[in-house]
Structure 1
Amino acid sequence: MNIIEAIKDENLLGSFLGADTESWWNWFAALRVLYGLKLNRNRRGLLASCTGRNPHKLPDDGFNTALFLTGRRSGKSRIAAVIASYEAALAGRESRLSTGERGVVAVCAPTKYQARVVKDYIRGCFTSPMLSGEVTQETQEGFTLANGVRIAVLAGDWRTIRGYTLLAAIVDEAAFFGYDAESKVKSDTELIRAIKPGLATVGGKLIAISSPYARKGWCFKTYQRNFGNNEGKTLVWNCPSKTMNPKLPQSVIDEALAEDLASAKAEYLGEFRDDVSLFLPREVVAKLVVPGRYELLPNQKHRYFGFADLSGGRSDDAALAIAHRESRVVVLDYLRVWKAPFNPQLVVLEMARDLKRFGLPRVTGDNYAAEFVNRAFRMEGINYFKSEKAKSELYGELLPRLCSGEIELLDNEKLISQIAGLERRTRSGGRDIIDHPPNGHDDLANAVAGVAEQAFRKHLVIGSL
C-alpha cells in the first residue's frame, strides 16, 4: 500500500486529516513526487512551480532525500506526523532488518515543545480503526508498534540519533536547529550528518520539513544545489504557505507583511531571509581556541581587563570575561557563566571576588539596570563602568580581530557556539545589527567581545601617551 492510498483510507490515515481533503491536495501531489507515484497531469504546473523541475524528468522510484520549504500554517507538522506514521506502520521497511535488529523511525524537532506537538499528531494518526491497536507502548520519547518498529520523537540533541538503524528520519523545522538555548545541536548540518549513516543499510528516506530562515546551513545549501536542478538527487519543494494550505486567510499574511516584511516573507512566502547572514564560520572561531586551556592563573606581570554581561536573573544568563594583552594578541584568561535563574546580588558578589583575584578594581559592562549594577559592585569594592559601545558595535569590532587571529580563546564549547551562531541582520537604511538568533543566547560572546574591545582600546591609549 502506498502513502496516498493510506491517506485516502478512512480506516488508516484518512481519519487524521479529516473529511475535507481538498485543502491537502497539493501536499498529496508533493508526496506523490517524493514516493515516485503517478502525478495527475493537472498537478504538473504545481510541480514545476514548487520544484523548478521538468515534470517529465523525475526519477521513477522517487527520492530518498527531500526538503520541503513551506511557510507557517501550511500543515508541515501534520504532514511530518503522517509520513512518520506511514513509514513506521505501513511502508514495510522492517522486512529489510537483520534478525534481532530494531528499526526506528526518528522524528527530530528543534525544541521539546515542537517535539510534543509532532508527537501529539502522531498519536492522532493511530486512532483510526485499523491502526489503534498497533501501538503497544507509549513513552515520553515516542511509541513502540506491534511490528517491532519504534517511533522516536527527539528534541534538540544530535547524539540521541546515533546508533539507531533508521527506517526513516523526518526533521521538523529543520532550518531552526541550533537556535534554541537548550539545543545541543549546533546546526542542521550537524544533525543531518548524524542521521545519514543510520539510514544507509535499509535505504530509508530523509525528509526535512521547514519554513526557510537564514541563508546558511544544510537547508540553504540543499536548496541552492537542487531547486530547479533536473539532475538533483534531492527533492526540494519550495512555496508559500497558501499554496499548501489554500484555506489560510490572506488577511493573516497581509497583516504579517505589513508588520515585518523580511520576517513575513520567510514565514509565509517561503523565502530565505535576505537580511540575515552568518557572522563568522564556526571553523574560523575554532582555530582560535587553545585546546585544553580552560582558565589561566593570575600573573602580576599582566594588566587585566574585565567585562560583565548582567541580567535580572530570571531567564537570561550572566557572564564575566577577563583578559590581558600580549603584543597584538588578546589572551582570554577567565570566562564564567551564571545560568538563570539566579540571585543578581550573589552573582555580583562572585564576580567581584574573581575580579579581585586578577587585581582588577574595576569592570566594564552593558547598560542593564546600570544604577543597580553600579551600586552592587561598589558595595563589593569594584567600580562599574557602562560600556560606551552597544553590543552590536562590539561584535563589529570583534570580527576583524577574530579573522586576523588576534585573540586566543579558552576551550569553551558554549563560547564557540555562541560566537559562531551570531547573525548579521540588515535593517532599514543599510545599518547592520549583529545579535544572537531567535531564542538564542550570547552572554559569553558579548563578554568576550567587550573585554577584547577594552584590551585593545586601553592598550592603544596607554601606548600613545
Structure 2
Amino acid sequence: MGDDRLALFKQLAGDREPPGERVRELYVIAGRRSAKTQNAAAIAVYLATVGAALEGLTDKLAVGERGTVVLFATDRTQAKIMLGFIAGMIDASPVLSAMVEKRGAEEIHLNNRVSIEVTTSNYRAVRGRAILACIFDELCFLRSESTDAADVEIVRAARPGLATTGGLLIGISSPWAKRGVMYEQYKRHYGQDSDVLVVKGATTQFNPTLDPRVIEEALAEDPEAAKTEWLGEWRDGISSYVDRNVVEGCTRDFPLIVPHQPGHTYTAFVDPSGGSSNPNADEFTLAIGYRDKDNTVVVCGVWARRGSPDETIEAFSKILHDYNVRTVRSDRYAGRFPADSFARHGITLQFTDKNRSQLYIDALPLLFTGRIELPPDPVLANQLCGLERRTGRTGDVIDHPAGAHDDRANAALGLAAHAMAHKAMPKVAVRFCF
C-alpha cells in the first residue's frame, strides 16, 4: 500500500499494522450505502473462481467433493439481490461465464468444483459440507424464527467447517446494538494485531461518492440514529426486553393449546397483518387466555396465519366462539378493516388506548414475577427474547429489531396486559334464609 492507503487502513483498523498474511476472519463495520452487498458479492466471485485455488483451499477437497462459498443474507429479498449481483459479475466476463456448469434458484455451480450459494439465516446451510468461505451480509441484522441469536448460531456452525478447509469467514454490516458476534469481535480484535481483522468507518470512508449533505441532514434530524446509520458507531441505549431464562421460567411444558374450560372468563387479543403469504411477511396472530384465582395470566394458545385476512378472521372467529369470546382487542395499527370483518362473524373488535410499547411495559412485571403462563411455542419465545428496549426522546420504545417479527409476542402480551387490567370479581358472601 502507498502512504495514503496505509494511513486510511490504520484509520479504519484502529491503528493496527496491516496483517502480514491472510487473516482467518474479517469483520467490516460500515455505515449505510457503503456498497456492502456489492462487495460481498464481488468477494464471493473472486474466491470461487480464483481465490480459493490460489489459497490452496480446493486442494483440501476430497475426490469428488465440491467446495462451497456460502453467502448469508438477512432475508429472501436480499438474497435475490445478492445473487443478481453475483450472476451479473460472472456474465459480464467471457472467461468467468464459461466456467458456469449449472445455475439454480440459490446457487451457481462452476467447473472448478466450487459452488456459490446464497441463503438466509439457516445454520444448517454450513453443516456437513466443505465450506471454502462464509460471507455474511448485514451480520448484525441476521434474524431467524428458530432462534433469537441467529448470528451466533450460524457463525458457531460455520467455524468447524472452515477450520477443515482453512477457509475465510467475512462479516460485513452496519452496526447496531452492543451485542452479538460483530460487537464481540470488535471488542476483542479492533486495533489488535491478530489473525482476525476488524475495520470500522463511516459511509464516506467506504463510499466517497455519496453526497455528504445526506449525512448532514440526517445528523441534524436525529443525531443518535444517524451516528449508527452513517458514521458506523454502535448504538447506545438499546437493551434486551427480557432474558431467555425468564421466558423459559414462564413457559409450561405442555400442551401447546389449553382448550376451553368452564368457569373461566377468557380474554383475546389480535395482531392483524396485511395478508401476504410470503414466509418473511408478518403473521396475523390471535392469543386467548384467562386470569386464574392466583392472579396469573394463563395464555391458552397463540394462533398465527399468513394469507387472506378474511379467511384468517373467519378461522379465528370460530376459535373465539369455542372459548365463548365475543370481544377481541387490538392496537390501532391495522385500521378499521379487521373490525368490520370480525363484526360479520359476531365478534366485536375494540382498539386499545395503548401502543405496543406500552402494552409490553405493562406485561413486563408479569414475566419477572412469573405471573404469566406461556405456551411452549418456540417462535413466541424467540420473539419475546428478541425484543429490544430503546431509549428515545419521548421515553422507552420496545419493538422488534429490524428484519424481525413480534406478531406472536404482541398478541400474547397484549392479552396479558388486558387480562390484568380487568378488576377481579369481588368475593361475595351469600346467606340463604329458609
TM over 0.5: yes
1:342 aligns with 2:302: no
Give the unaligned 5+ runs of structure 1: 1-38
* Residue number in structure 2 paired with 1:90: 50
Instruction: Answer yes or no: is the 8 Å Cα contact 1:110–1:183 preserved in 2.
Output: no
The 5-angstrom pairing of residues 137-176 of structure 1 reads 137-176=102-141
SS in 2 for 1:152: strand
Q: Percent identity?
A: 36
Bigger relative CO (Cα 8 Å, ≥ 6 apart)? 2
Q: Tell me the alpha carbon deviations over residues 247-292 of structure 1, each in whole angstroms, 9 at most, x when there is no partner.
A: 2221232233334433332222111222443222344424433234
SS in 1 for 2:309: coil
Deviation at 1:233, TM superposition (A): 4.5
Deviation at 1:392, TM superposition (A): 0.9
TM-score (norm 1): 0.81
Instruction: Answer yes or no: is the 8 Å Cα contact 1:105–1:151 preserved in 2.
Output: yes
The 5-angstrom pairing of residues 253-264 of structure 1 reads 253-264=215-226
* Residue number in structure 1 paired with 2:100: 135
Deviation at 1:395, TM superposition (A): 0.5
* Residue number in structure 2 paired with 1:387: 352
SS in 1 for 2:332: coil
Deviation at 1:109, TM superposition (A): 1.0
SS in 2 for 1:90: helix
1:317 aligns with 2:319: no
Give the unaligned 5+ runs of structure 2: 429-434
SS in 2 for 1:62: coil
Q: Distance in 1 between matches of 2:231 and 2:131?
A: 32
The one-letter amino acid paired with 1:220 is Y
TM-score (norm 2): 0.87
SS in 2 for 1:84: helix
* Residue number in structure 1 paired with 2:211: 249
* Residue number in structure 2 paired with 1:31: none
The structure-2 alpha-carbon separation of the partners of 1:241 and 1:451, relative to structure 1 and needing over 3 Å to count, comes to: same
Of 189, 197, 220, which residue of structure 2 is paired with 1:226? 189
SS in 2 for 1:201: helix
The 5-angstrom pairing of residues 42-61 of structure 1 reads 42-55=4-17, 59-61=19-21
The one-letter amino acid paired with 2:154 is L
Of 389, 409, 427, which residue of structure 2 is paired with 1:445? 409
Deviation at 1:452, TM superposition (A): 0.9
Q: Distance in 1 between matches of 2:334 and 2:212?
A: 42
SS in 1 for 2:96: coil
Q: CA RMSD in A?
A: 2.7
Q: Distance in 2 between matches of 1:114 and 1:312?
A: 21
Q: Distance in 1 between matches of 2:374 and 2:269?
A: 15
* Residue number in structure 2 paired with 1:277: 239
Q: Distance in 2 between matches of 1:368 and 1:442?
A: 14
Instruction: Answer yes or no: is the 8 Å Cα contact 2:146–2:379 preserved in 1.
Output: no
Of 376, 399, 414, which residue of structure 1 is paired with 2:379? 414
SS in 1 for 2:287: strand
Q: Distance in 2 between matches of 1:391 and 1:53?
A: 44
* Residue number in structure 1 paired with 2:418: 454
Instruction: Answer yes or no: is the 8 Å Cα contact 2:74–2:403 preserved in 1.
Output: no
The count of aligned residue pairs is: 418
Of 67, 91, 95, which residue of structure 2 is paired with 1:103? 67
The one-letter amino acid paired with 2:24 is N
Q: Distance in 2 between matches of 1:237 and 1:228?
A: 8
